[in-house]
Amino acid sequence: MATNPPAGEDQIQIPTISDRIDLRFITRLVDKGSSVLDLGCGDGELMELLARERQATVRGVEISEEGVYRCISRGLSVDHSDLDQGLEDYPDGSFDYVILSQTLQAVHKPRLALLEMLRVGRQGIVSFPNFGYWQARLDLAIRGRMPKTDDLPYEWHNTPNIHLTTIQDFLDLCKSEGIRVEQSVYLSGTRRVRFLPNLLARTALFVVRKG
């Protein structure tokens, strides 16, 4: 039986190349032929998408050895480094885009990561799970337990997410640091959320630039 999207959401159709819907949006946002630095690049899935579909020159930064090995096995350039130490090896404005996809909430110093991203890149693209999503709020309020959703699947004791944030929290940080938000995309699964995103969106994506 067909169901209608919840109020404030509309269905979008995207080719199934990646299981991560935010990666598809990020790929669309990057201009062809751009230089891209992917911070917390994991196994290199996004870099591979960008190189193949946008003909981008890509490089990654990853702290886990497993992630580094997987990137190398894909023929990708990657630095084994800790984002909490900054990006001192990269000069100002050395990339067209610097990306933090599902990484900001997993670092110890998210503010530093955001500022370093915008020092090194002319534009930044950030995505993260929205802790203000209604199911997360309900789990905490009713069940009295740390929330678990499709985007936050871990137990409290083994989660890599150490600085969970909401859409409004992120916007407040950008305002306090003089960071300009040029574009925002709010998602719930494959649905794009256009109404009450801090309540209805599971994932948020922003294009940002120095103010």
Per-residue pLDDT tens for 131-157? Answer: 999 998 998 888 888 877 777 777 878
Q: Which residues span the domain enclosing 16?
A: 9-131+165-210
Domain assignment of residue 199, yes or no:
yes
Q: In the prediction, which pLDDT does 206 show?
A: 98
pTM of the model: 0.86
Residue 184 pairs in a beta bridge with: 206
**CB of 61 closer than 8 Å to CB of 79:** yes
In a domain, 159, yes or no: no
**pLDDT for res 16:** 36
pLDDT reported for residue 149: 76
Q: Does residue 60 sit within a domain? A: yes
Instruction: Report yes or no on 50 lying in a domain.
Output: yes
First to last CA, the chain: 48
- Asked whether 188 and 200 are in contact (CB, 8 A), the reply is yes
pLDDT attached to residue 171: 98
Those residues of the chain that have pLDDT short of 70 are 1-19
What CATH number does the domain containing 83 carry? Answer: 3.40.50.150
In sequence order, the β-bridge partners of residue 101 are 127
Q: How many CB atoms lie within 10 A of CB 4?
A: 7
Strand order in the sheet with 78-80: 9-11, 191-193, 179-188, 203-210, 121-129, 95-101, 35-39, 57-62, 78-80
pLDDT at 140: 86
Give pLDDT, residue 1: 36
pLDDT of residue 9: 44
pLDDT in tens, 57-74: 999 999 999 999 999 999
User: So what's the pLDDT on residue 190?
Assistant: 87
Is residue 4, in this structure, part of any structural domain at all? no
